[in-house]
Amino acid sequence: MSYPSNQQEYWCEKFNEEQRQMQIYYQDLGYFNTRPSTIQKPKITLDGNKWCALLGTNLQEGIVGFGDSPEESCLDFDRVWSKNIHKQ
Nearest CA-CA partner of 53 in 29, 18, 81, 28: 81
* pLDDT tens string 5-28: 677 778 778 777 777 777 666 666
Burial class (CB in 10 A: 0-12, 13-18, 19+), 37: buried
Distance CA 79, CA 72 (A): 11
Q: What is the pTM of this model?
A: 0.64
pLDDT at 77: 93
Cβ-proximal residues to 9 (8 Å cutoff; 6+ apart), any chain: none
CA dist 34 and 60 (Å) reads: 25
Q: How confident is the model at residue 65 (pLDDT cuts 50, 70, 90)?
A: very high
39-61 pLDDT, tens digit per residue, is 888 999 988 899 999 999 999 99
> Alpha-carbon dihedral of residues 19, 20, 21, 27, nearest 10 degrees?
110
Position 4 scores a pLDDT of 54
pLDDT higher at 83 or 12: 83
Residue 10: what pLDDT?
A: 81
